[in-house]
Structure 1
């Protein structure tokens, strides 16, 4: 009948085939398998093949060959049917399996992409939700803190009130024996003090008014308001109008105007300082209006740049106020992290950059990754890098690495350079020989210790070697081991966690620092080292103090300011604790809020520590108190080792200062009663907001209406407090019987019952004197007295004064406020 022929399937897919002479039955050609068909000797027998479930034939051939092979092409894009006898490809078709796999892969990638986008969206929503929750927690925490502060203020005010009340009672008891003479003397002295203070205030206001008029004239500014109104209101009005025009021009929300007062602390400023703010606003808005649209995007950025421009103008005339503005602006800059703000404050405090340079940096930093901003500022603060270096680094791709290269180039010196410089300065040969051996060793050894973490065993071994170390003739190997342990400890102490949670590795002491440390250790007679700014004086002193304290020596470290003492002790306390060394600052924390007994205890405890940080102006009086007053301020602490940071400041800048042990001057004791009386009056003053204008006015202590009217309004002797009360009888506010009861109580002097009766009689009259009655009676008093003083009458509710009545006159005026029934300010 014929021969059986074979079709080999070398693909991984199933096929179907048939010959033309068979019926409608298809045979299966399995993946990586084979199939047979019968050649009937009829020429040109054809074989048809189709892929999987295709309905049409994909490949066909003449069936006369002995066998065929179905395979994929070399590029896997086609199926090929090969005649095994001739080796020719008899037919081709697309690689349907590959196409299906690509479609499936594309579909899988699409689904994964959609899933990933959905997860990212969900993650962003969760982060936004978490951020809002954190903001809400922070807001609630701030409110709670404000509440606690207010409670503390109220408690302190209550304590002050009690103390003042007790002082006032003692004051009255002392005055009873000489009441008439002493009262007259006190009144005269009080008037002298008030008149003198008024003169000073008028001088300042006149000076501010003159300068304000010059400012208006120089800039051709014409005021819209009445030029005779309050000077501070005129300055504030001008400032507000300029700021509003500026904000409107640059499309900054008008509510941002509140940030100007917050940044400058406007409510707490003196008239002179307020004038400085107005001048700065004029210069920023009129003279140097920056083109914000080209460099900034957000409205918040524009507001911050305006405030920074304002502090830049203030810096020339009032650097203190300019620094305050900068610190407040940093608090309002939400883009910067809290750690970056703190570093910028330290840079400003240490005069590393000027406020103008800080302003330029902030403008660039707002659009940067805040993690990089923090790293840059940390480098600047650590190595006191100039703004020029930092500005150049911002233009580089790797900012932090560029700054580190600058630091390495400027600060890191190899042993040959260090020894060459010391040789030029005629250091002894034996010292140079010792340094050469140790520095060469440390240069080779420290890079090998980058991944080593110091442990307790290494610390104990280092302490033991420090104690056994002979500083006169030190063993070089022992000294090397001590320096290795100290270097590892410094690296551990300077490691910190960045805001993003990443750990920033600490640093090893540089070779120049180790050389300085060796010079300090070798010289027993004392040593004076000149170390440039940024080369790590505090690190050198901390390592030297650690070695000395571990050997049992008490160390006093003298800094140039109390803030530096607090900073250095806090920064290196971890290093001291590693080696079992205690440290403190003098005066200690909370020293000024304690009683004298607790102050002595805190001071004595601070001096028991191994290492004490303080200033010369603090050490000196403590020594004098112990030496001359025989107090145990320093206890048994000896004068063993003193380290002076910035010795030129102590000997030159502060060298002319003299320390005295002060005592109370007995000649001024007679002033205590007068000063207590003045203080009692001042403490009763309080701020009151005017409802119509929002202006804050200061009111005197609350007192009965007729007494306040006598002191504030009436200016002639014939109109007394009693005569004012009699006018109330005429107006029908209370009866003649009420007045008679008060008069009878006044005639019975010298007894407690008399004072109680007079108080009750007065209160009964005052209960009938509401705001309306007070206003009518005050108007009657003015008419009767024919006074040249106009009166603006207010009623005070919830510490807000609402205008009740006002006279339309250009005469000198005063404010009169009713706080409750019969009480006025």
Structure 2
């Protein structure tokens, strides 16, 4: 619960950081969403995180949410739908031209991307494409799996992004615009790696998003015969081991780092056979900037510490004694203010409420 609360606070603060939200507006949004949550049969933190994530990635400003007396959730959904309708579908030539202007990718790779995407795109209306080979056949298979399980075909932008990742000889940083289907690109690339015998780890910016994506794309992975799991909210070693036996694992930086430390230093074989073959970072700016200074520690009992329990208990008892500053006289153990006040009230049944307040002030 504490972790969920911290994540929620972080998401609210991120609205302030982008400069388009004032402090009062963030508070107003939070209060309004709390009121609208009443009666919903779902987890509060998960529901709230999803909405705030939508507000942030779609850059929805406060004026658009509080524009009328209708529900905040309805206003957010209306804005997202309008953004989706106004998003122009770009052609392959337009997308490749934008990439050439913004990124340094060699001409040979761009030519391969054009050839692969154009060839596969022409075949998407067919159920099979036996003439396609290699990467083209892999992309066709993945696109058909998306179409079957998600009821839509991958857009050209997603296909181009996938191609660039697959054709890269080393690490590749891909900038994907808001609403261009980043989750789809990640799932398709992870599936490609899994089908080629690798075990991709997908790092999300929060447990909520990791669990959401793993759940939403589970049917897609199942269609391809790929196992998937998420490493968040797992405390038992058996649960973690079962998780890392899957081909694709979603999670957060903290969970992946923590599990590595458990394996390396505590000798808990939570990922015994899983190698570090492929890592996909969702929202790399969150990892490198927002969480760049975070450190993961493992809690553990100090060996033989239990032998000191008696001594520590005696020390605790002594230092928690209440004594007079002038004489040093020990008056007894320290008590909570509420406990003292409760005892006074119980001993004086007929005491007036005004007197209770006076006693509280004097204490």
TM-score, normalised relative to structure 2: 0.70
List per-residue Cα deviations over 1:427-484 (Å, max 9, x = no partner). Answer: 32322222222332344444x36xx7xxxxx7xxx9xx9xxxxxxxxx9644333323
Say if 2:32 and 2:72, in contact at 8 Å, map to a contact too. Answer: no
Q: How far off its partner does 1:414 sit?
A: 0.8
Query: What secondary structure, in the 3-state scheme, does the structure 1 residue paired with 2:213 have?
Result: helix
Query: What secondary structure, in the 3-state scheme, does the structure 2 residue paired with 1:483 have?
Result: helix
Query: What secondary structure, in the 3-state scheme, does the structure 2 residue paired with 1:621 have?
Result: helix
List per-residue Cα deviations over 1:407-434 (Å, max 9, x = no partner). Answer: 2x1xx22111123233444532322222
1:360 and 2:40 correspond: no
1:527 and 2:207 correspond: no
Q: How far off its partner does 1:537 sit?
A: 1.7
Of 789, 808, 812 in structure 1, the residue corresponding to residue 358 of structure 2 is: 812
Of 67, 86, 90 in structure 2, the residue corresponding to residue 406 of structure 1 is: 86
Q: How far off its partner does 1:318 sit?
A: 8.8
Query: What secondary structure, in the 3-state scheme, does the structure 2 residue paired with 1:363 have?
Result: coil
Bigger Rg, structure 1 or 2:
1
1:346 and 2:11 correspond: no
Q: 1:362 to 1:487 in 2, by over 3 A?
A: farther
Say if 1:315 and 1:322, in contact at 8 Å, map to a contact too. Answer: no
Q: 1:531 to 1:569 in 2, by over 3 A?
A: same
1:331 and 2:37 correspond: yes
Say if 1:587 and 1:603, in contact at 8 Å, map to a contact too. Answer: no
Q: How far off its partner does 1:517 sit?
A: 0.7
- Alignment partners' CA distance in 1, 2:295 and 2:251: 17
Partner residue in 1 for 2:8: none
Partner residue in 1 for 2:256: 619
List per-residue Cα deviations over 1:250-274 (Å, max 9, x = no partner). Answer: xxxxxxxxxxxxxxxxxxxxxxxxx
- Alignment partners' CA distance in 2, 1:325 and 1:379: 20
1:509 and 2:154 correspond: yes
Partner residue in 1 for 2:140: 484
- Alignment partners' CA distance in 2, 1:620 and 1:567: 20
List per-residue Cα deviations over 1:561-597 (Å, max 9, x = no partner). Answer: 1111111111111111111111111134xx35xxxxx
- Alignment partners' CA distance in 1, 2:253 and 2:53: 21
- Alignment partners' CA distance in 2, 1:422 and 1:318: 37
Partner residue in 2 for 1:377: 77
Q: How far off its partner does 1:544 sit?
A: 0.8
- Alignment partners' CA distance in 2, 1:355 and 1:646: 24
Say if 1:558 and 1:643, in contact at 8 Å, map to a contact too. Answer: yes
Of 187, 197, 200 in structure 2, the residue corresponding to residue 542 of structure 1 is: 187
1:420 and 2:97 correspond: yes
Partner residue in 2 for 1:634: 271
Query: Counterparts of 1:2-81 in structure 2 under 5 Å?
Result: none
Unmatched tracts of structure 2, length 5 or more: 1-20, 321-335
Q: 1:520 to 1:624 in 2, by over 3 A?
A: same
Q: How far off its partner does 1:322 sit?
A: 4.2
Q: How far off its partner does 1:611 sit?
A: 0.6
List per-residue Cα deviations over 1:496-555 (Å, max 9, x = no partner). Answer: xxxxxxxxxx32111111111111111232222122232222211100111111222111
Query: Counterparts of 1:192-591 in structure 2 under 5 Å?
Result: 316-317=23-24, 319=26, 322-332=28-38, 346-352=50-56, 353-354=60-61, 357-360=64-67, 363=70, 377=77, 380=80, 390=82, 404-407=84-87, 409=88, 412-424=89-101, 425-446=103-124, 448=125, 477-494=133-150, 506-588=151-233, 591=234
- Alignment partners' CA distance in 2, 1:333 and 1:357: 25
- Alignment partners' CA distance in 2, 1:355 and 1:544: 35
Query: Counterparts of 1:121-136 in structure 2 under 5 Å?
Result: none
The structure, 1 or 2, with the larger RCO (C-alpha pairs under 8 Å, 6+ apart) is 2
Give the length in aligned residue pairs: 311
List per-residue Cα deviations over 1:290-309 (Å, max 9, x = no partner). Answer: xxxxxxxxxxxxxxxxxxxx
- Alignment partners' CA distance in 1, 2:39 and 2:275: 49
Partner residue in 2 for 1:653: 290
Partner residue in 1 for 2:323: none
- Alignment partners' CA distance in 2, 1:349 and 1:405: 20
Higher relative strand content: 1
TM-score, normalised relative to structure 1: 0.33
Q: 1:601 to 1:805 in 2, by over 3 A?
A: same
Q: 1:436 to 1:807 in 2, by over 3 A?
A: closer
Q: 1:628 to 1:364 in 2, by over 3 A?
A: closer
Q: How far off its partner does 1:633 sit?
A: 2.0
Say if 2:244 and 2:274, in contact at 8 Å, map to a contact too. Answer: yes
Partner residue in 2 for 1:712: 344
Say if 2:199 and 2:248, in contact at 8 Å, map to a contact too. Answer: yes
Query: What secondary structure, in the 3-state scheme, does the structure 2 residue paired with 1:631 have?
Result: coil
Q: 1:333 to 1:663 in 2, by over 3 A?
A: closer
Q: 1:712 to 1:560 in 2, by over 3 A?
A: same
Q: How far off its partner does 1:604 sit?
A: 1.1
Q: 1:812 to 1:549 in 2, by over 3 A?
A: same
Partner residue in 2 for 1:8: none
Unmatched tracts of structure 1, length 5 or more: 1-313, 367-372, 391-402, 453-457, 466-474, 495-505, 593-598, 679-684, 686-697, 702-707, 714-773, 779-790, 794-803, 815-825
Say if 2:145 and 2:224, in contact at 8 Å, map to a contact too. Answer: no
- Alignment partners' CA distance in 2, 1:350 and 1:537: 13
Partner residue in 2 for 1:147: none
Partner residue in 2 for 1:604: 241
Query: What secondary structure, in the 3-state scheme, does the structure 2 residue paired with 1:648 have?
Result: helix
Q: 1:672 to 1:572 in 2, by over 3 A?
A: farther
